[in-house]
Amino acid sequence: MPCFQLWRDRHAIHPHAGAGAGDGLPVRCWRRRWVGVLLSLGLLLGPGVLQAERETRLPIAITGMQSLPGPPEALREGRPPACRAWLPTLLPGQQQTACRPVPTSSLANTMAILLALIVLIMIVYGVRHVVFTLNRLLGRQHHPYLHVETARWPTVTVFIAAHNEELVVAGCIEALLDIDYPAECLKIIPVNDRSTDRTREIIDDYVERHPGRIQPFHRTSGKPGKAAALKDAMAHAVGDIVIIFDADYVPGRNLLKQLTAPFFDPEVGAVMGRVVPINAGANLLTRMLDLERSGGYQVDQQARMNLRLVPQYGGTVGGVRQSAIAAIGGWSDDMLAEDTDMTYRLLINGWKTVYSNRSECYEEVPQEWSVRIRQVKRWAKGHNQVLGRYWLQLLRSPFISPRERLDGALLLLVFIMPPILLAGWVLAVGLYYLDSEPALSTFIPAFALMAYSSLGNFAAFFEIVSAVLLDGSRRRLRLLPINLLCFFVSLFAISESVASVIMDRMFKRELVWDKTIRYRAPAK
Amino acid sequence: MSPPPDLIFALLFALTSLALLALPFVPAWREWRTPTDCDPLPIPRRDPDEASAFAALARQALATMPDSATFAPAPAVTALAAWAHAHRPLLAREPLRFEAAVHCGMPLFGSASIESTGAASFTAVYADESLRLGPGSEISHWAHAGKALHLGVASVALQSLSAGQCIALERECCFQHLRAPAIRFGEVPKRRLALRQVQPVEGELSSLPHAVRRTGTLYRIDGNCQLPAGHRFRGSLVVMGWLVVGENTTIDGDVKAHKGIVLRAGARVTGSLVCEHSIRLMDFAWAGGPVISEADVLLDACAIVGRPDAPTTVSAEHVVAETGARAHGTVWARQAGVVWTSEAFP
C-alpha cells in the first residue's frame, strides 16, 4: 500500500467517520487547517494569541465536529488538556478532543506545564528586548555626562591588563600616550601578568622612552587571572579613578575624558564604554560577532542606560571608583567574570554603573570558532558564578529600585537561559511524540524554535537590526540570517558550561581562566 | 490514481515554508561570499561638535588660503548683495565693520576683527581677533573669535560659539554650546545688592537626618535634605530627594540629588553638582565643578560656575541664565539656552 494511503487511513478514514470521510476531508476541515497553521504562529506572538486561539477553536469544534471524523480512541488516550493548549490542532479529531474530557497523563501534563513556564520566561526576555529596542529607536537618549568637556580633571590611573600581549601592547600604550588628558593627571600602569613572551621587554622600552609617564607593574607569581593581577596592581594606583583597558584595545583621543566625566557624579561607581571589533572583516565569524556586539552595546546597553536599569560594567574600556570598590569589599580575585562581579556588587551596595555609548574603543574578536566557544564558556561560567553568589543579596538590597531589581535579576539569569531553552525544545519534541501529531504538526515545533531564537535571551535579532541601522552601516545586515549559526553555537557552548559549573561545584574544582587569543600583527 | 489532497497540501506547505526560510539566505550568502560592508565601524578621533575643532579648521584655512581656490576674497562691507550671494567661503584680511544688516550664506574667515552694528546673519564665522555682532544677529552653525565674542540683544546662536578670551551674550540671546575662559550673560541688574559676608560654622554631614556614610567622605541621605544657612560641610553628598543648600553655606565636595538642587544666595559647592531634575543657583551662588542636569539649569543673577583658573562645564537640556550670571569653561544647553532679565527694558 502506498505510504500516502497509510497516512490517509490513519488520519482521515476512521471507524467513527461521518459523511464524506472516505472521500477525503471536507472543505470546512481544510479551512480549519489553515486556521490552525495561522494560530500556531501564536507561539511567536505569546500567550495572548494562544488564548485567542482557544477561543476561536472552540466554536469551530462545536459547530463542525458532529459531521467530522475523529481520531482512533487509542490516539486520544493520554492527551492532556494542557498539552492541547500548546499544540494547535489541525486534524478534525483533535478539534473534537478540545471539547471532550479525556484522560490525562501526569508525565505529559508536567511536561506541558514546564514548557509553558519556559515559554513564559522566554516571552519575558522577548518583551524586555522589544522594550529595549523601541526605547533605543524612539525613546529619549540618556547621555548626561557626554558634554562635560571642560573641567578640573581628576587624577586617573590607567591599567593595561597584559598577559602575553607582545602583538598588541605597544599599540595600546602608544594610543594612551597620545590621549587628550592632562599629562600630570594621568598615570599609565601596564600590568604585565606573568607573560612569557616579549611583553615585558616592550613595556620596559616604553618606560625608558617616556620617563615619568609609565610605571610598569611586572607580576611574576601569584594567582593567575586578570582579576588577581589587577587586584595586586591596585596598590600602585594614584587617585580615586581607575580606568582599565585590555592590551588589545586602542583608545581614541577623547576616550579618557569621556570615561572619567561620569565620575563627577558621586553616586557612580563604574563606567563602561562601547567596544567595536577592529577585525570585523577577517572572516564570517568576526562579521557575525561584529553584528552581535552592535546589538549588545548600541541597543541593549544604551537602552538600559536610558531606562535607568542596570548597564553592565565590562571590565575593560571602563573605569571604577577606587573608594567605591573599597566600600564594597575590594576586588574579587576568585571570579572568572570580575566585571560582572563588580557590576552586581556595586549595584547591591547602591552604586551606579554608567554606560557611555559614544566612548568607543576598538577590540579584537575571536577569529576561530574554538576560541569563540572557549570565550563564551568562560563568560557563562563567570556569570553563573556571580549568579550563585549574589542572587539573594540582589533581591534583598535596600538600595535598588524595583526596575533595577527586575532588570538585574533578568541580566543575572541570562546565562542559564540557554540550557532552559534547550530543555524547552526537548519538552516540545517529547510532547509532540506523546501526542502523535500528524506530519503537518511537525511545523509547530519549528515555529516554537523560531520563537525561541528570535525572542531568546541574547542576541535578539531585531536588536541587531536596530543597532546596525543606528550605526549607519546597513549592508552588513544581510548576514543576519547566518547569525543563527552563532546563536546555536553559543547555545550549546553555554549549556555545556552550565553543566560544567555544576560539576565544578559538586567536585569542588577550581575555575580555570582561558586567555583569548590575539590575531593582530606585531607592532613595529 | 491522483494523489490525495492531504499529500499535495503537505508538499506545498513544506516547499513554501522552505522557500520562505531560504529567501533571506540569498543576500546573506552573497554578502558572505562577496563582502561589500565588512570594515570596522569608524570611530571619530574627535567630537565634531567641539568648538576648538572649528577654530583649528579655520586657522588651517587661513594659513593655506591665499593660494587656495576654495575661498573667495570678502567683498566690500557696503556691497551687501555680494555677501548675500557668495558661493564660496569668504576670506577677509582686513577688519570688517558692517553698518547695516548683513546676510552671508557661506562661512566667513577673518584674520582681524569683525563687527556689525545691525543684525548680522552668518552660517559660520571666524575672527582671529574679536567678533561683535549687533542686536538680532543669527549664527546658524558656529562662530569663533580669537579674543572676545559679543552677541547683541535677542541674537541667536544655533550651535557652537567659542572664544579665546570671553563670550558675552546680551539679554534675550539664545544659544546652545558656548566655550570660553569667561562667559558673561548680560549686565548685572541694578536691583542686586552685594553679598552679605558671614563667618561659616563648621557642620558635620554625618549629623544630618538619615545620613548614611558610604565611603570616607561620601554620605547618602534618603529623602529630602535642607542644609542650614551659614555652615561649612566637608564631604560629598548623595540625596535621594531634594537638596536645598542654605544661604552662605559651603560644601567642600561633590553633590548629587535625584529630585532637584537649589543653592540659595551665596551658597557654594566646590565640587560637582549633579541632578536628574532641575538645578538652580541663586544670586551669588557658586559651583566649582561641573553642573550636570538631565533637565534644566537656572542661573540667577551673579551666580557663577567655575573659576578663570579652573574652568568647568554646565550641561543640561535647557540652560536659563539671568543677566549678570557668569560661567567659566563650557555651557552646553542640549536643547536650548536663553539669557533673560527680570528688569523692565525699553
Of the listed ranges A123-127, A469-473, B67-71, B290-294, the one predicted with least confidence = B67-71
Give B13's contacts in chain A (Cβ within 8 Å): 37, 440, 443
Q: Which residues of B are less than 8 Å from A265 in CB distance?
A: 254, 256, 272, 274, 292
Amino acid letter, residue A435: D
pLDDT-above-70 percentage for chain A: 72
Chain B contact for A506, CB < 8 A? no
Per-residue pLDDT band for B66 (boundaries 50, 70, 90) equals low
Least confident of A161-175, A287-301, B183-197, B260-274: B183-197
Q: What are phi and psi of B49, to 5 degrees?
A: -80, -15
Domain count, chain A: 2
Of the three residues B160, B185, B210, the one that is the final residue of a domain is B185
Mean pLDDT computed over A286-306: 93
Q: Domain check: are A15 and A99 in the same one? A: yes
Residues A359 and A257 in one domain: yes
Expressed in percent and rounded to 5, the helix, strand and coil fractions of chain B are 15, 40, 45
A99 and A157 together in one domain: no
Q: Average pLDDT of B106-113?
A: 87
A61 pLDDT exceeds 50? no
Q: Are residues A359 and A273 in the same domain?
A: yes
For B279, what's the count of Cα atoms within 13 Å in the CB-facing half-sphere? 29
Q: What is the pLDDT of residues A184-204, one digit of tens each?
A: 999 999 999 888 888 999 999
What is residue B22's three-state secondary structure?
helix
CA dist A360 and A381 (Å) reads 27
Q: Do A275 and A295 touch, CB atoms closer than 8 A?
A: no
Label residue A25 by pLDDT band (50, 70, 90): very low
Spatial separation of the C-alpha atoms in residues B256 and B232, rounded to whole Å: 17
Domain boundary among A89, A104, A119: A104
Which one is predicted more confidently, A441 or A426? Answer: A426
Residue A445 is predicted with a pLDDT of 58
DSSP string computed for A256-306 = HHHHHGGGGSTTEEEEEEEEEETTTTSSHHHHHHHHHHHIIIIIIIHHHHH
Asked if B39 lies within 8 A of A327 by C-beta distance, the reply is: no
Least confident residue range of A190-194, A270-274, B285-289: A190-194
Nearest CA among A320, A231, A340, A279 for reference residue A516 = A279
Cβ-based contacts of A287 with chain B (< 8 Å): 32, 35, 38
Half-sphere exposure of A463 (CA within 13 A, CB side): 32
Q: Using alpha carbons, list the distances in angstroms from residue B284 to B248, B261, B315.
A: 9, 15, 19
Contact B261, B271 (CB under 8 A): no
pLDDT score for A8:
39
| d(CA B106, nearest CA chain A) in Å | 28
* φ, ψ (nearest 5 deg) of residue B120: -120, 145
Considering only CB atoms, which chain A residues are within 8 Å of B19? none
- What mean pLDDT, rounded, does chain B reach? 88
Pair (A235, A337) in one structural domain: yes
Q: Are residues B232 and B315 both part of a single domain?
A: yes
A444, part of any domain: no
- Among candidates B3, B31, B215 on the partner chain, residue whose Cβ is nearest the Cβ of A475: B31
Nearest to B10 among A145, A276, A439 (CB): A439
Contact yes or no for A323 and B215 at CB 8 A: yes
Q: Tell which of B150, B185, B220 closes a domain.
A: B185
Please check whether residues B124 and B170 belong to one and the same domain.
yes
Same domain, A85 and A170: no
Domain that holds residue B323: 201-339
B50-to-A151, A206, A311, B56, B107 alpha-carbon distances in Å: 15, 31, 27, 10, 17
Predicted pLDDT at A127: 86
Does B3 contact A at CB distance below 8 Å? yes
Encode A70-109 in three state secondary structure.
Answer: CCCHHHHCCCCHHHHHHCCCCCHHHHHHHHCCCCCCHHHH
Does any domain span residue A35? yes
The residue whose grid cell reads 543597532 is A467
Q: Does B278 touch chain A (CB under 8 A)?
A: no
Q: Provide the pLDDT confidence category of residue A160 given band limits of 50, 70 and 90.
A: very high
- What is the tens place of the pLDDT at every residue in A230-240? 888 888 999 99
pLDDT of residue A115: 82
The answer to the question of residue B95 being in a domain is yes
| Band of residue A459 on the pLDDT scale cut at 50, 70, 90 | low
Category of A411 on φ-ψ map: left (φ > 0), alpha (ψ -120 to 50) or beta: alpha
Residue A261 CA from chain centroid, whole number: 28
Q: Residue A272: is its pLDDT beyond 70?
A: yes
Q: Are A250 and A362 in contact (CB under 8 A)?
A: yes
B40 domain residue, yes or no:
no
Grid cell locating B167: 563670550
To the nearest 10°, the Cα dihedral for A387, A46, A495, A84? 120
* Whether residue A46 is found in the same domain as residue A160: no
Which residues pair with residue B232 across a beta bridge?
B202, B250
Would you say residue B49 has pLDDT above 60?
no
pLDDT, residue A62, reads 34
Residues in chain B within 8 Å Cβ distance of A358: 47
Residue A66's pLDDT is 38
Q: Does B44 touch chain A (CB under 8 A)?
A: yes
- The answer to which of A252-261, A505-514, B21-30 has the lowest mean pLDDT is A505-514
Q: Looking at the domain assignment, is residue B175 inside a domain? A: yes
Based on the domain organization, do B205 and B170 belong to the same domain?
no
The residue range of the domain holding A306 is 153-370
Same domain? B151 vs B219: no
DSSP-derived 3-state class of residue A417: helix
Q: Dihedral (C-alpha) A29, A32, A33, A38: value to the nearest 10 degrees? A: 170
The stretch B47-68 carries a mean pLDDT of 64
Contact of A327 with chain B, judged by CB distance below 8 Å, is answered with yes
Q: Which of A108-117, A145-154, B131-140 has the lowest mean pLDDT?
A: A108-117
Which of A142, A149, A440, A447 to probe by mutation at the B interface, max B CB count within 10 Å?
A149
Res. A97 pLDDT band, cuts 50 70 90:
very low
Which pairing describes strands B120-127 and B108-110: parallel, antiparallel, or unpaired? parallel
Min Cα separation A518/chain B (Å): 17
B15 located within any domain: no
Looking at residue A448, what is its pLDDT? 61
User: Exposed, middle or buried: residue A19 (CB in 10 Å: 0-12, 13-18, 19+)?
Assistant: exposed
**How much is the average pLDDT of A438-453?**
54
pLDDT (average), residues A365-386: 90
Looking at the predicted structure, is the pLDDT value of residue A11 above 80? no
Q: pLDDT by residue (tens digit) across A63-95?
A: 333 333 444 443 344 444 444 444 444 333 444
CB contact under 8 A, B13 and A443: yes
**Total domains, chain B:** 2
Q: Are residues B97 and B177 in the same domain?
A: yes
List Cα–Cα distances, A314 to A338, A342, A391, in angstroms.
Answer: 9, 9, 19
Residue B240 shares a structural domain with residue B163: no
Closest to A278 (Cβ–Cβ): which among B40, B179, B294?
Answer: B40
Give the DSSP letter of residue B129.
S
Count of C-beta atoms within a 10 Å radius of residue B161: 28
**Which helix (DSSP H) or strand (DSSP E) does residue A424 occupy?**
helix A417-435
Residue B46 lies in a domain: no
Residue B221: what pLDDT?
A: 94
3-class secondary structure for A10-52? HHCCCCCCCCCHHHCCCHHHHHHHHHHHHHHCHHHHCHHHHHH
Question: Is A471 or A474 the better-scoring residue by pLDDT?
Answer: A471
Contact A151 B237 (CB under 8 A): no
Give the pLDDT confidence score for residue A53 in this predicted structure: 34
pLDDT surpassing 80 at residue A481: yes
Dihedrals phi, psi of B240, to nearest 5 degrees: -80, -15
Q: What is the mean pLDDT of chain A?
A: 77
In a domain, B80, yes or no: yes
CB contact under 8 A, B214 and A327: yes
Cβ atoms of A313 and A339 closer than 8 Å: yes
Same-domain status, B175 and B213: no
Cβ pair A151:B218 closer than 8 A: no
Q: Are A58 and A179 contained in the same domain?
A: no
**Among A11, A151, A362, beta carbon nearest to B43:** A362
User: Does B37 reside within a domain?
Assistant: no
> From the CA of A468, how many Å to the nearest CA of chain B?
10
User: Which chain A residues are Cβ-neighbours of B4 within 8 angstroms?
Assistant: 4-5, 8, 24
Decide if B305 is inside a domain. yes
Residues A75 and A157 in one domain: no
Cα of A284 to nearest chain B Cα, Å: 7
Q: Is B96 on the interface with A (CB under 8 A)?
A: no
Claim to verify: residue B168 and residue B274 sit in the same structural domain: no
